Amino acid sequence: MIDRETIDRIYAAANIVDIVGDYVTLRRKGINYEACCPFHQEKTPSFKVSPARGIYKCFGCGKSGNAINFVMESENATYPEALRIIAKRYGIEVREEKMTDEEMARNNTRESMFALNAWAAEYFQRYMMYEDEGRSVGLSYFSSLRGFTDATISRFGLGFCPSNGARFSEEARLAGYKQEYLLSTGLSIARESDGALRDRFYDRVIFPIHNISGRVVGFGGRTLRTDKKVAKYQNSPESEIYNKRREVYGLYFAKKAISQQDAAILVEGYADVISMHQAGVENVVASSGTSLTEEQIRLIGRFTNNITLMFDGDSAGVKAALRGVDLILKEGMNVRIVLLPEEHDPDTFARANSSEQLREYIKDNAQDFLAFKARLLLGEATNDPLKRTDAINDMVYSISLIPDQIKRSEYIRYCAEIMNVDQQTLAVAVARKIDGVGGDSETQDFLRRQQHRDRQQATPSSLTVTPPETPSVVLPAGEITGGSSLDTLEQELTKYLIKYGHVNYEVLDGKDVLEFNVARFIFDELDGDELQFDSVVYRKIVELYREEWNERGEGVEVPMHIFINHYDPDVSRVSIELLTSDDNYVISKIWEQKEVHIESAEEQLAEGVPKAMVLYKWRTLDKRIAELKARMAAGDDHEGVLALFTKYQAARVAIAKVSGRLI
């Protein structure tokens, strides 16, 4: 377990703009930053980052957190893993305290797999650079045949696995790595006959696969044999830390250039990526040994909305270009295509040209995908009416996938012109496709959802209020009701405490005006009836606030960062959810005829805090009465039980009268 002092140093160093900016392209807006949310699909940015508060919040899907929470979400990482990732970024030495058996068991699997992969990547590269076989086979291939420099080889971690079919596995075991992790990462395979380990990648050059934060999650191995029976590429199997559908090869090295240039170039192979990077064109990635997936497209979409596909200029390359693009169109991204001269692939083309020549070629030869596809299909159709009809229907399908209504209209106009089709006829065909007349059910469902979103976006509400950049105190006093659960009421009181505990409000009592402090009122009411919250995390937050409040004094604001950056990830996560829960809130009762009245903070607190407390006590009594009834039904008729039951019933009647006036 990471010690408390190290955790504090990590929190102090973590700059949320830098951390989030490693995963998505942030754009400044006022004092904050915004982006399209990386956790759900959207076209209009609703993901906000506040450097002043050190938090992020998506007003679309509701996710929020601090820098550590963000890494946990993005990497599917545990809390300790996220801390280590950020510590590595800032060069902080991680000191460990002794873990409990349970903590060790929970942490071991993923962390051990990552550690083994890191060791394996170093082993493969070391073997290639310093062993005779590695230098004569692996290094010769990379440096002589591929033209990779030592700097490029080191940067991408390229290596070679010994041709002795079990040497790597044996040395890994000698280094202390367990067989279960050698098998779960796929680095080793157990022989069926006797269970002995053999190397998955033996006699292959190695391409480590890094995730978006730079950790090695898997490997690609290429054979140098000419034997047709041997698969050219061998990739790591799916594992706890590697899902090939979600990884984009080279993105860790390319994300900065992609963000700066607002464009990504997508190629097919590992060597294509590396050669382009070495040539100075660094916004280049590949689909990591699999057909392009939605997850990969969305991952690239965190950094840019513009993708250029670069393919071989032969017929196979053209067909590959057509197969992958519909998925990109469905994600609402802008797609262009660059076809290379027939004698080249991206690897050979990059080695044959300077970086300036590469950029010029891409600039001069990049074509809009749908324009390219329309010309290609028309060329194949010639004068055959049936082929021409198929070509037009193919274009209709691709256009119908585009979620942006304006962009669809432009492509309808363009395609109608170059395909010599009546524009209205083409528009009707696209509309029918979107409405699901024909086509598979999955596509129909997707297109219906897109059309529904288009209609919603095209019909703005007349009662839309844009929240200010830094929200003023706005409380949803009407959110809780007599039917609210105990957990909801504990949540509401905790939120009042950490957001407004320092605020005073006034209540009119007959002719007298009484002044209350939010924190004092909540603590007095809880202490007076010896109550504490059932929820462990809400109870922790309340006690943390009480400690700070006792130290600072009544009326002094407790800094938010104490909760946001708390070492307990549950306290941190829930606190951020509470602190941001009303940032987009608009009071439903503010519209009165043509005038707008927004209640002051004091008015809302005077109503909301007592109401939440009374309902909380009511629900607590309900719970205790139910527990006593269960005890009596089980035969417990002790005098103390009956007395408590009578006392609780009387208290409930009294609270019901008060709550009737408040609700």
Residue 35 lies in a domain: yes
Q: Compute the residue count for the chain.
A: 663
Examine the fold and report which residue of 89, 119, 153 is the final residue of a domain before the chain moves on.
89
Q: What is the biggest distance separating any 2 CA atoms in the chain, rounded to whole angstroms?
A: 99
- Contact partners, residue 522, CB within 8 Å, separation at least 6: 493, 496, 497, 501, 609, 613
Residue 75 lies in a domain: yes
The CATH number linked to 74 is 3.90.580.10
The bridge status of strand 306-311 relative to strand 334-339 is parallel
User: Domain check: are 490 and 622 in the same one?
Assistant: yes
The CA-atom distances, in angstroms, between 201 and each of 177, 219, 240, 271, 620 are 17, 9, 19, 17, 62
Evaluate whether 65 touches 564 at the Cβ level (below 8 Å). no
| Predicted pLDDT at 462 | 30
pLDDT of 598 over the 60 cut: no
pLDDT of 469 over the 90 cut: no
pLDDT of 589 over the 60 cut: no
Share of the chain above pLDDT 70, in %: 81
* For range 248-271, the mean pLDDT: 91
User: Domain check: are 40 and 122 in the same one?
Assistant: no
Pairwise pLDDT comparison (399 vs 598), residue with the higher score: 399
User: Domain check: are 9 and 106 in the same one?
Assistant: no
Which residue has tokens 């061998």? Answer: 234
Long-range contact list for 457-463, CB < 8 A, 24+ apart?
A: 457/44, 458/405, 463/591
- pLDDT band of residue 660 (cuts 50, 70, 90) is low
Check the CA dihedral 586-591-597-603 and report its sign.
negative
- pLDDT band of residue 453 (cuts 50, 70, 90) is very low
* Selection from 200, 165, 164 nearest residue 182 by Cα: 200
Residues 431, 451: Cα–Cα separation, whole Å: 9
Tell me the per-residue pLDDT of 180-191, one tens digit each, with 9 for 90 and over.
Answer: 999 999 999 999
Strands (E), 427-537: 504-509, 512-517
| Predicted pLDDT at 532 | 87
The residue segments making up the domain with residue 648 are: 486-582+596-662
Residue 106 lies in a domain: yes
| Predicted pLDDT at 527 | 87
Residues 415, 393: Cα–Cα separation, whole Å: 11
* Selection from 382, 384, 408 nearest residue 395 by Cα: 408
| Predicted pLDDT at 641 | 62
Which residue has tokens 């009484």? Answer: 514
Evaluate whether 30 touches 128 at the Cβ level (below 8 Å). no
Residues 142, 286: Cα–Cα separation, whole Å: 19
- Contact partners, residue 465, CB within 8 Å, separation at least 6: 586
HSE value, Cβ hemisphere, 13 Å, CA-based, for 362: 25
Tell me the per-residue pLDDT of 488-542, one tens digit each, with 9 for 90 and over.
Answer: 889 999 999 998 888 888 877 667 777 888 999 999 888 888 888 989 999 999 9
| Predicted pLDDT at 601 | 55
Tokens read off for 551: 């130290």
The CATH number linked to 223 is 3.90.980.10
* For range 42-48, the mean pLDDT: 87
Residue 252 lies in a domain: no
- pLDDT band of residue 611 (cuts 50, 70, 90) is confident
Which residue has tokens 């324009």? Answer: 371
User: Domain check: are 394 and 506 in the same one?
Assistant: no
Residues 527, 304: Cα–Cα separation, whole Å: 54
User: Domain check: are 74 and 110 in the same one?
Assistant: no
* For range 23-51, the mean pLDDT: 88
User: Domain check: are 32 and 175 in the same one?
Assistant: no
Evaluate whether 152 touches 199 at the Cβ level (below 8 Å). no
Residue 369 lies in a domain: no
User: Domain check: are 638 and 537 in the same one?
Assistant: yes
User: Domain check: are 508 and 640 in the same one?
Assistant: yes
Residue 344 lies in a domain: no
Share of the chain above pLDDT 90, in %: 31
Helix, strand or coil, per DSSP, at residue 34 = strand
Mean pLDDT of the chain: 81
pLDDT of 477 over the 60 cut: no
- pLDDT band of residue 212 (cuts 50, 70, 90) is confident
Residue 609 lies in a domain: yes
| Predicted pLDDT at 557 | 85
Helix, strand or coil, per DSSP, at residue 68 = helix
| Predicted pLDDT at 272 | 94
Residue 248 lies in a domain: no
* Selection from 245, 246, 253, 307 nearest residue 276 by Cα: 253
- pLDDT band of residue 77 (cuts 50, 70, 90) is confident
User: Domain check: are 237 and 137 in the same one?
Assistant: yes
* For range 535-558, the mean pLDDT: 88
| Predicted pLDDT at 606 | 81
| Predicted pLDDT at 476 | 42
| Predicted pLDDT at 471 | 32
| Predicted pLDDT at 242 | 92
Pairwise pLDDT comparison (95 vs 526), residue with the higher score: 526
Pairwise pLDDT comparison (644 vs 80), residue with the higher score: 80
| Predicted pLDDT at 235 | 94
**Whole-prediction pTM:** 0.63
User: Domain check: are 169 and 218 in the same one?
Assistant: yes
* Selection from 107, 115, 133, 243 nearest residue 176 by Cα: 115
Examine the fold and report which residue of 183, 215, 242 is the final residue of a domain before the chain moves on.
242
Tell me the per-residue pLDDT of 373-422, one tens digit each, with 9 for 90 and over.
Answer: 888 887 777 778 888 888 888 888 888 888 888 888 988 998 888 888 88
Examine the fold and report which residue of 416, 440, 457 is the final residue of a domain before the chain moves on.
457
- pLDDT band of residue 472 (cuts 50, 70, 90) is very low
User: Domain check: are 554 and 435 in the same one?
Assistant: no
User: Domain check: are 61 and 149 in the same one?
Assistant: no
Whole-angstrom Cα Rg for the chain = 31
Q: What's the structural domain count of the chain?
A: 4
* Selection from 518, 537, 530 nearest residue 620 by Cα: 530
Phi-psi sector, 71: left (phi>0), alpha (psi -120 to 50), beta: alpha
Tell me the per-residue pLDDT of 3-35, one tens digit each, with 9 for 90 and over.
Answer: 777 887 888 788 899 899 988 889 988 888 999
Query: Mean pLDDT lowest for which of 57-71, 153-167, 641-655?
Result: 641-655
Q: Nearest-5° angle of CA 369, CA 367, CA 307?
A: 65
Check the CA dihedral 390-396-400-402 and report its sign.
positive
Q: 275: part of which helix (H) or strand (E)?
A: helix 270-278
* For range 620-647, the mean pLDDT: 72
